[in-house]
Amino acid sequence: MTRRTIESLRDEIIGLDEPIPILGGKEQRYVFLDNAASTPAFKSVLAAIAEFLPWYSGVHRGTGYKARVATAVFDETRKVVAEFVGADPRRDVVVYGANTTGLINMLAARLGTGPDGVVITTLMEHHSNDLPWRKHGKVVHIGTDSRGGVDMDALRDALARHAGRVRLVAISGASNVTGFINPVHEVAALSHESGARILVDAAQLVAHRPVRMRPHDDPGHLDFVVFSGHKIYAPFGIGALIGPGAFFREGSPTLVGGGAVSYVSLNEVEWADPPHSEEAGSPNVTGAVALAEALRILGSVGMDHVASHERELIEYCTAGAREIPGITLYGPVDDPGIKVGVLPFTLAETDHALVATILSTEGGVGVRNGNFCAQIYMRGLLKVTPEAEKANRAMSCDSASLPGMVRASLGCYNNRDDVDAFLGMLGKIARREYRGTYKIDPDTGSYREEKFTPRFPAGLVRNGAGA
Ligand SMILES: Cc1ncc(COP(=O)(O)O)c(C=O)c1O
């Protein structure tokens, strides 16, 4: 495999120069600053899929040549994933699922807390690392510190208060709202001291920083790590949960059916060895091929290089954003070393949904706005009072009236041109120099420019009708 560099990663991105329509009838390249939601795909990922597909076959249940090739390829992908996060090949297994949400739900159902046990999580989590735990047991939420990261004193208190009963500490590696990187190895050491395991939701971390699970006998060892392929340049419907095989040998799998068993009679079922026990049904082999290739590429560049490139870019972006009149930035703004490349902000007297719409309509810049599936954290950052929260709820489904921000988020391939395009358009919005006339749809809370209905690519959307 050719050794890649940070600079060459830009050439790896599919669709980077695809022209998109903007207000006024012109076209320009899309400025992709929505990587925290999903990244675009690497070209080599597509090439790896194309190379594999002639050999595609169902895996594990066939003796045919292609089934054997596909099985070998599939098994190999698990090794790549394990290596990427520094898992122990003798003790850990890589379980595939659809995405982070699905895999956390699976783990929550698998873990169960029993009548006395608890799971500790934080108030900065994505809903996907909060609601599954609530569904399957008792959850203790700990707060955040003044910078927006986990409050380590509150964690110590909670571990002491529930000593002997904490089954798991479930924490984000990095926040999808502020980008704050939690000190996961420190959290792990505290968790282990009190007999608990740790799960790191690495959905926002793994594409931006090196993730190392560390040896099992290291106090800072990460027991479980989970992430999604679509946030790491492999958007092909796959996610991975890495954790100890011994854990999955206890009890019974969440999802049961073909592939998860080694013996079935009317009265008896013997579960297959993990990870197969956790993957009932036919697995997403193509997704696994895609994921492994994306990880190989990032591994060949080196995650340290990715991290330093993104850090330099978020510093550049933050410095420029500070100059925008009326802007408020959130999270650890003054300390780019403890965050990934996410810039959450609001503009005075301009709805977050309107800002995001103008960025797209007139600047061709793709960002995201809203609460980013982290409503509790969002309310805390925006200091929404309980009264205001109540009033907001009464305003029903008008999403623009809900507390929210705009979020620009970087990937390994973004450069200063992308940031300049974003800041340039943002400056115009702040100075009220945008050209369009925007109306809100009260049913959806989204904005639209009065006369702008861009056509979608005809081959993709019936008749190319715009929206
Ligand atoms: C921190 C975090 N956790 C979990 C998720 C859920 O990931 P997925 O939608 O791939 O299941 C996201 C998605 O944005 C996220 O940012």
User: Ligand 1 in contact with 121 (CB < 6 A)?
Assistant: no
Q: Which atom of ligand 1 is nearest to the CA of 37?
A: 14
The strand pairing partners of 406, in sequence order, are 345, 369
User: Ligand 1 in contact with 205 (CB < 6 A)?
Assistant: no
Could you give the angle at the alpha carbon of 32 between the alpha carbons of 31 and 33, nearest 5°? 110
Buried/exposed code over 340-354 (b: 16+ C-beta within 10 A; e: otherwise): bbbbbbbbeebbbbb
- pLDDT tops 50 at residue 396: no
- pLDDT tops 50 at residue 382: yes
**Residue 384 three-state SS:** coil
222-227: average pLDDT: 99
pLDDT of residue 399: 54
Q: Which domain holds residue 416?
A: 6-32+302-455
Domain identity same for 360 and 277: no
Number of domains composing the chain: 2
Domain identity same for 337 and 395: yes
- pLDDT tops 90 at residue 11: yes
- pLDDT tops 80 at residue 150: yes
Is 22 part of any domain? yes
Is 160 part of any domain? yes
Domain boundary at 300, 332, 347, which? 300
- pLDDT tops 90 at residue 402: no
Is 347 part of any domain? yes
The residue whose CB lies within 8 Å of the most ligand 1 atoms, and thus the one to mutate among 228, 236, 371, 377, is: 228
Domain identity same for 348 and 226: no
Mean predicted lDDT score pLDDT of the chain: 95
Tokens representing 272 are 């297959």
pLDDT of residue 112: 82
User: Ligand 1 in contact with 126 (CB < 6 A)?
Assistant: yes
**Residue 170 three-state SS:** strand
Domain identity same for 309 and 295: no
Go through the chain and tell me how many residues it has.
467
Domain identity same for 210 and 288: yes
Going by pLDDT thresholds of 50, 70 and 90, the confidence category of residue 393 is low
Element (H, E) at 436: none
Q: Which of 444, 445, 425 is nearest to 435 (CA)?
A: 425
pLDDT of residue 397: 46
Q: How far is CA 251 from CA 139, 247, 271, 300, in A?
A: 21, 9, 9, 39
Domain identity same for 126 and 87: yes
Domain holding 256: CATH number? 3.40.640.10
156-178: average pLDDT: 98
Q: Which atom of ligand 1 is nearest to the CA of 372?
A: 14
Is 462 part of any domain? no
Domain boundary at 300, 325, 343, which? 300
- State the alpha helices, DSSP H only, in 395-439: 416-430
pLDDT of residue 458: 83
* Residue in the structure block whose two tokens are 């790549």: 80
The residue whose CB lies within 8 Å of the most ligand 1 atoms, and thus the one to mutate among 176, 226, 236, 238, is: 176
Domain identity same for 228 and 368: no
Report d(CA 448, CA 290) in Å as an integer. Answer: 36
Domain identity same for 306 and 294: no
- pLDDT tops 60 at residue 275: yes
Q: pLDDT for 277-325, tens place per residue?
A: 999 999 999 999 999 999 999 999 999 999 999 999 999 999 999 999 9
154-177: average pLDDT: 98
Q: pLDDT for 29-46, tens place per residue?
A: 999 999 999 999 999 999
Is 465 part of any domain? no
| Residue 127 one-letter amino acid | H
pLDDT of residue 466: 66
Domain identity same for 211 and 175: yes
Rounded (to 5) percent helix, strand, coil in the chain: 40, 20, 40
Is 259 part of any domain? yes
pLDDT of residue 215: 98
Tokens representing 305 are 């290089």
Domain identity same for 267 and 346: no
Domain holding 386: CATH number? 3.90.1150.10
